Amino acid sequence: MIDQKMKTIEKAEADDCALGSVAMDDRRLLRKIDWHLLPIMFLTYFLQMIDKISINYANVMGLQDDLHMTGNDFSWLATAFFIAYAVAEIPQGTLLQRYSVTKVLGFNILCWGIILCCSSAAKKFSHMLALRILLGLMEAVIAPALTIYTSMWYTRAESTPRYGLWYCGLGVGQIVGGLVSFGAQHAPANMSFGGWRIMFVVIGAVNILAAILVIFCLPDNLEKAHFLTEAEKQRISQRLTEDQSGAGSKVFRWHSVLEAFGDLQTWLLVLLTILITIPSGVITTFSAILIKGFGYSSKQSALLNMPSGIVSIVATMASTFAISKGFSRWLAIDVLLLPTLLGSCLMSFLPTDNQAGCLVGIYLVNTTVAPLALIYAWTGANFKGYTMKVSGAGIVSAGFSIANIIGPQTFQAKDAPQYIPAKITIVAVNAAAIVVSTSLRIVYGRRNSTADRLGRPARSLIETRLAEKCQSEDVHDDENFRYKQRCDGETPCSRCKRMHFHPRHDSKLMESPGLGHVCKPRIPERPANSTGGPNAPRRPRASRSRGGCLPCKTRKKKCDECHPRCSDCRRLNTTCQWPVSATQTEPVILDLSDGSVSNSAPGSPEYASIRDSVGESNASLSIPSPASPFDAEEFIATLFPHPLPQKKAPVISLERPLMITNPHLCTDEDKSLFNHYVHVVSRALCRSSTKRNPFLVTLLPLAAASDAVTSVILTLSGCHWKRVYPGIWGCALKRQGQAITRVNELLGCPDKKSIFEACATVLLLCLTELFDGTSRVWKWHLKAASAILKSGAFPTVASDEWDFCISLFHYLDSMSTISRCKAPLLQATENSGDVPIPSRRNSVPELGRNDSTETIYGIPPALLDLLGMVNVLANHRSRRVDELSEIGFRATATHIEDEIDEWRAAYDMNATDTDNKSDTSHATTAFEWAIRLRLHQIVEGYDALHDFVKRAVTTILDCVQEVPYASRVEGCLLFPLVIAGSSSLAIERRMSVKERLMVMENTLGFSHIHHARQLLEAVWNGNETSDLNWAAVRYSQFPGVVFV
C-alpha cells in the first residue's frame, strides 16, 4: 500500500513539474513570442511611416512641378491625409471591436498598398488629393491595432519595451525613405515615369507583400497561435490574468465607450498627443524642405534627413529601456521633450547660414517622436477591457491626426523660406507638453492615493458610477488595478520605498522589515477609571508630528487613531511604521494554563494577537499586536470596501503553547508567507466561531517540527496571496516541490509519526490545488491520502492532530464528488435498484463530532453525504436506456429525496430558536436546497423555467442574503450560489449572485471563487435559452474548479 502511495505521489509531482516548468521559464516563452510577432509588427509600422514620409521625399523630387501645384496645395495634401485619418478612427475602431485585429489590419495594409501604387498615376493635384484621403482612411487602423495586439500578449510591465521595438519602425522608415528617395532621384531624366512615381510603385508593392504576411502569419488570438503549445498558451493566459491586463472579451459595451470619453485621463492623453505630434508631424512632412532651404540640393537633403531616423530610434529605445528598469513614464516624456525644446530653439532662431547648428536643431527635434511610443504604452496599460482599449486608442490616435492637421497649416507659403511662425509654434507646444505630462502624473497619483486610502480600485468618477450598477467590463472590476506609471513589481519605485514594499530580488533591502509583517498601529491609552470624570486623563490628540501611520504623514493628513491600519498596510500586509513613543503599550499576557487573561497595565485595550516569536516561558505569550487572528472579523484576505460587522475580540483561552517560532523559515519570503498564513489564511479556512482554530493550534506545532508541513503551509499561503502579490507565487511553487519531495522521504520511514506528517502534508497539498482551481492534480493527492488512511501504518491514537486529519479528509472527499460525480473514496456501495447508495466502511475511522469537524465543515457533515449520493446518481444517468431503467433511476431519486426530508425533520427537531436564526442555519438551508435543485437537474434536466427551480433559487438566494459579509460560514455558500446562479434567468438574480461571489473573492481570497464566477459568466453568455447546463461548461472549460 505504501509503495502504491509513493507511485501516486511521484505521478503528482511529475504533473506539478510539467505545469511549473512553463511558469519558471517565462523568458524563453517571451523570446518565442517576440520572434514570431514583433518582426511583423515592426514591418507594418515601418511601412506606414514610409507611406507618410513618401510625400515629403516626392516633394523634393519635383512632385509640385509635375502636378502643377501652387500656394498651399502641398500643405493641403498633408492636411487632407490626417483629416481622413481622424475621421476614420471611429469606423476603424468598430471594425477592430467586431472582427479579428490581424484580419482588419492586413486588409487595410493591402488597400493602402494598392492606393500607393495608384498614386504613381496621378496627373494633377486633385488626383493626388483624393488618393491621400483614401490613404488616410486606411492607415488610421495602424496605431490602435498594434496597441491592442500588443496588450493581448504581454503584461503591462513587458509591453512598454515592445511598444518601443515596433515603434522604432518610424525611425527606420526615415532612414530607408531617405535611401529610396536618393536612389529614385538617380533615375534617367528621359523616363516617362518620374523618380517619385517609381518610389510610389516600389513602396506600394512592398506593402501588398506585408499585408499577406500579416493576414497569414499573425495569429488572431492566443488560441490560434500554432507556434505555442497548450501549456504555453495556459501560461500566457495565467500571466495576463495575474497582471490584470489583456484585452478582455470582444463584446461591445456602450458604457465603456462613454467611460472612455468621460475620463479625464483620456483628454489629457489626447492633449499631450496633440502637443507632442505637432512638431513631430511638421518634421516628418517638411524636414526635407527645411534642410533644402539651408542651401543643400535635393539629393543631399534626402541623405541629410537620414540621421533624424537614428535620433528617433535611439530616443525610443533608451526611453523604453529606462522605463522597463523602473523609470517613470511621465518623467521620461519630460526628459525627451527637453532636447526637442532645445532643437526647436536652434532651428528657429539661428541664422540659416549656420548650417551645422540648424541641422543639429532638426535632429534634436526628432526626439519628440519617442514620447508617442510612451503614450501608446500608457494607453494600453491604463485603459481596461477590450472596448475601452479600442475606444481609448482610437481617441488618442484621433489626437495624433488632429495634431498633424494643425502642424502642416503652420507652414504657410507666405512665410517661406524661413517659416518663422511655424518654428515658434514648435517651441511653444513643446513647453506646453511638459506641463500636460506632469499634470497627467498628478492625476494618476491622486487616483492611486484615493484607491490606497479607501481600499478600492483606482477608478475615475464615471467608472465608479458604472461599477455601482454592476456594469463592468471583464478586467475592469479587479480590486488590485492600479494606474501604471513606473513600478512593475520587480524594481522599487518611490511609492514602494515609502510603503516599505520590497521586491524579492533587491538584496539591499532584505535587512529591513519586509512583506508580510503585521501592522503595529498606535493603540490609544485608556483611563484607569472607565467611567470617566473630570479628572480622568484625556485621550491623546492625533497630530501630524506625534503619531499616525506613514502614508498619513506623507500626505500631511491627520491620522484617525480609531482605525490606525492604513489601507496600504492592510492590502500589502506590510509593517506600518509608527514612532517608538506611540507604540509603548503594555502587552497582553495570555495564561495558557487556566485560560485567564491578565495585564500588567490596568488600562490595556481589549485586543489580543500574536507576534513572531514565543516568550521564554511556555505558560504565557506576550502579544502586542492590535487584533486577534482567531476571531476578529476585520482580518480578511484583502481589504473589503464595504463596512463589516464590528466585534470585540473575545478572551482567548488556549490549551497548549502556540508555537509561532519555526526553525524551517529560511528567507524573508518564507516569513512573510508564514505570517500571512497565521493572520489571514487560517482565519479564512475556519468556518465556525470556535476559539480554538485547528488550522492554527494543530498545524503550527506540527509545522514547527516538520519541514514538509511548513512547506505546504507556505504553499497554501502563496496560493491565497498570489492574486494580490503575484511575485510571491514563485516562492510558493518552490516550497510545493520541496513538500512533495519530503513526502516521498517520509513514506519510506517506518515510524508512525512520519506517516502522519505525510498524511497531513498530502491533505494540505490537495486543499491548495482545490483552492487554486486551475488543475486536477488534487485528485492524485486525495487518492494518496486515501491510501495512507487505509494502510495499517497510519496511527489510530485519538488526538487533536488525528481528529483534524480525519475531518479534513472526509470533507475534501465529500466535496470533490461535485466535480467527479463518483462515490467518495471512503464509501462502499449497497445496491438499491440500479444505483448504489454510499455508506461508510467499518475499517475506516468514522467522522466524529468535534471542534475540528465544526471548523472545517461549517455545516452538518450529513449534508455532504447526501450530496455524495446525488452525485453518484448523476454518474449513472447513462443507464437510462429503456422504460425499466428509467423507473429504477427515478425510484432511487425518490429514495434520496426521502433521505433529505428525513434529515431535515431531524435537524429541525434538534434546532432551537436561536439556532434557526444563526448564520450556520441559513447556510445549511441554502446548501440543502442546492442539493435538492441539483437532484432535480439530474432527474428532470436543466430547464430554468420549471416552477420547482424558481422556488429553489428564491429560497437559496434568500438564505444567502441572511448570511452577513465575512461570516465564518460564507465559504459554505459557494456551491449554493453556483447552483442558484446557473439556474437563474432574471438579470437581478444573476447580479445578486455575481455581487456575492465578488464579495467572497475579497473576504475569502482564494482563486477558485474567481473561477466559479467566470464559470457562471460563461454559462450566462453562452446560453440564450432556458437550458443552462452549467455542468457541461465546467467539464469543457473549467475542469479544475471544485466548489469547496
Q: Is 80 exceeded by the pLDDT of residue 929?
A: yes
Q: Are residues 789 and 827 in the same domain?
A: no
Q: Which residues pair with 589 in a beta bridge?
A: 598, 622
CA distances from 204 to 113, 118, 638 (A): 4, 9, 56
Q: What does the pLDDT average to over 526-531?
A: 42
**Which structural domain, as residue segments, surrounds residue 325?**
20-454
471 within a domain of the structure (yes/no):
no
Q: Which of 94-98, 200-204, 347-351, 948-952 has the lowest mean pLDDT?
A: 347-351
Look at residue 817 in the predicted model and tell me its pLDDT.
61
Q: Is 80 exceeded by the pLDDT of residue 409?
A: no
What is the end-to-end Cα distance of the chain in Å, rounded?
A: 28
Look at residue 255 in the predicted model and tell me its pLDDT.
66
Cα separation, 903 vs 54, in Å, equals 82
Cα separation, 129 vs 79, in Å, equals 10
How do beta strands 827-832 and 620-623 pair?
A: unpaired
Q: What is the total count of domains within the chain?
A: 3
Q: Is 80 exceeded by the pLDDT of residue 342?
A: yes
549 within a domain of the structure (yes/no):
no
Of 793, 809, 828, the residue that ends a domain is 793
Taken in order 178, 180, 185, 186, the sign of the CA dihedral is: positive
* 449-506 pLDDT per residue, tens: 766 665 444 454 444 444 444 443 444 433 344 444 444 444 444 444 444 444 443 3
Look at residue 558 in the predicted model and tell me its pLDDT.
56
Q: How many CA atoms lie within 13 A of 178 on its CB side?
A: 22
Instruction: Look up residue 832 and give its DSSP letter.
Output: E
11, with CB counted inside 10 A (0-12, 13-18, 19+), is middle
* 727-744 pLDDT per residue, tens: 777 788 888 888 888 888
Cell numbers placing 1020:
450566462
493 within a domain of the structure (yes/no):
no
Q: Which residues pair with 836 in a beta bridge?
A: 831
Q: Which helix or strand (DSSP H or E) is residue 829 part of? A: strand 827-832
Cα separation, 666 vs 634, in Å, equals 30
Look at residue 252 in the predicted model and tell me its pLDDT.
56
Look at residue 110 in the predicted model and tell me its pLDDT.
92
Q: Are residues 54 and 109 in the same domain?
A: yes
5 within a domain of the structure (yes/no):
no
Cα separation, 943 vs 953, in Å, equals 13
Q: Are residues 206 and 284 in the same domain?
A: yes
Q: What does the pLDDT average to over 748-776?
A: 79
Q: What does the pLDDT average to over 583-611?
A: 33
Look at residue 863 in the predicted model and tell me its pLDDT.
82
783 within a domain of the structure (yes/no):
yes
Q: Are residues 246 and 323 in the same domain?
A: yes
Q: Which of 64-68, 620-624, 868-872 has the lowest mean pLDDT?
A: 620-624
Q: Is 80 exceeded by the pLDDT of residue 1021?
A: no
Look at residue 570 in the predicted model and tell me its pLDDT.
47
Q: What is the CATH number of the domain that holds 172?
A: 1.20.1250.20
Q: What does the pLDDT average to over 780-801?
A: 71
403, with CB counted inside 10 A (0-12, 13-18, 19+), is buried
Taken in order 476, 481, 485, 491, the sign of the CA dihedral is: negative
Look at residue 719 in the predicted model and tell me its pLDDT.
83
Q: Are residues 757 and 867 in the same domain?
A: no
Say if residues 223 and 233 touch (Cβ distance below 8 Å): yes
With a pLDDT cut of 90, the percent of the chain lying above it is 1
* 682-702 pLDDT per residue, tens: 888 877 665 677 788 888 888
Q: How confident is the model at residue 418 (pLDDT cuts 50, 70, 90)?
A: low
Q: What does the pLDDT average to over 214-241?
A: 83
188 within a domain of the structure (yes/no):
yes
Say if residues 492 and 503 touch (Cβ distance below 8 Å): yes
Torsion of CA 1003, 1008, 1010, 1011, to 10 degrees: -170
Q: Is 642 helix (H, G, I), strand (E, B) or coil?
A: coil
Residue type, 341: L
503 within a domain of the structure (yes/no):
no
Q: Are residues 295 and 335 in the same domain?
A: yes
Look at residue 482 in the predicted model and tell me its pLDDT.
45
Residue 452's nearest CA partner among 409, 390, 394, 495 is: 495
Q: Is 351 helix (H, G, I), strand (E, B) or coil?
A: coil
Residue 734's nearest CA partner among 26, 24, 14, 30 is: 24
Average pLDDT, the chain: 69
Q: What does the pLDDT average to over 615-630?
A: 33
Look at residue 632 in the predicted model and tell me its pLDDT.
33
Look at residue 1040 in the predicted model and tell me its pLDDT.
58
Say if residues 501 and 574 touch (Cβ distance below 8 Å): yes
Q: Are residues 929 and 788 in the same domain?
A: no
For the beta carbon of residue 535, count every other beta carbon within 10 angstroms: 7
With a pLDDT cut of 70, the percent of the chain lying above it is 64
* Edge-to-edge strand list for the sheet holding 620-623: 597-599, 588-591, 620-623
Of 412, 431, 454, the residue that ends a domain is 454
Q: Are residues 932 and 883 in the same domain?
A: yes
**Cβ-based neighbours of 269, under 8 Å, separated by 6 or more:** 375, 378, 379, 392, 395, 396, 399, 440
Provide the strand spans (E) within 127-280.
none
Q: Is 60 exceeded by the pLDDT of residue 296?
A: yes
Residue type, 386: Y
* 98-124 pLDDT per residue, tens: 888 889 999 999 998 999 899 888 888
Helices 230-242 + 26-60 axis angle, to 10: 80
Q: How many CA atoms lie within 13 A of 678 on its CB side?
A: 28
Q: What does the pLDDT average to over 774-796?
A: 74
838 phi/psi in degrees, rounded to 5: -75, 145
Q: Which residues pair with 620 in a beta bridge?
A: 591
Look at residue 109 in the predicted model and tell me its pLDDT.
92
Q: Which of 173-182, 191-200, 388-397, 831-840 has the lowest mean pLDDT?
A: 831-840
> Cell 461599477 belongs to which residue?
467
Q: Are residues 441 and 590 in the same domain?
A: no
Residue type, 879: R
606 within a domain of the structure (yes/no):
yes
Cα separation, 932 vs 697, in Å, equals 36
How long, in residues, is the chain?
1044
Q: Which of 527-541, 643-657, 1028-1042 has the lowest mean pLDDT?
A: 643-657
Q: Are residues 774 and 869 in the same domain?
A: no
Say if residues 785 and 759 touch (Cβ distance below 8 Å): yes
* 836-855 pLDDT per residue, tens: 444 333 344 555 545 556 66
Torsion of CA 222, 228, 234, 235, to 10 degrees: -110
Cell numbers placing 110:
493591402
Cα separation, 290 vs 301, in Å, equals 9
> Which of the two residues, 831 and 948, has the higher pLDDT score?
948
Q: How confident is the model at residue 245 (pLDDT cuts 50, 70, 90)?
A: low
Q: Are residues 724 and 641 in the same domain?
A: yes
DSSP 100-167: -HHHHHHHHHHHHHHHHHHHTT--SHHHHHHHHHHHHHHHTTHHHHHHHHHHTTS-HHHHHHHHHHHH
CA distances from 166 to 41, 143, 147, 370, 654 (A): 6, 11, 10, 12, 63
Look at residue 114 in the predicted model and tell me its pLDDT.
92
Cell numbers placing 160:
512598454
Say if residues 196 and 57 touch (Cβ distance below 8 Å): yes
Cα separation, 313 vs 654, in Å, equals 67
Q: Is 70 exceeded by the pLDDT of residue 187?
A: no
Q: What does the pLDDT average to over 797-815?
A: 74
Of 409, 436, 454, the residue that ends a domain is 454
Say if residues 114 and 131 touch (Cβ distance below 8 Å): no
Q: Are residues 785 and 825 in the same domain?
A: no
> Which of the two residues, 528 and 845, has the higher pLDDT score?
845
Look at residue 926 in the predicted model and tell me its pLDDT.
87
Residue 41's nearest CA partner among 102, 92, 130 is: 102
Q: Is 70 exceeded by the pLDDT of residue 676?
A: yes
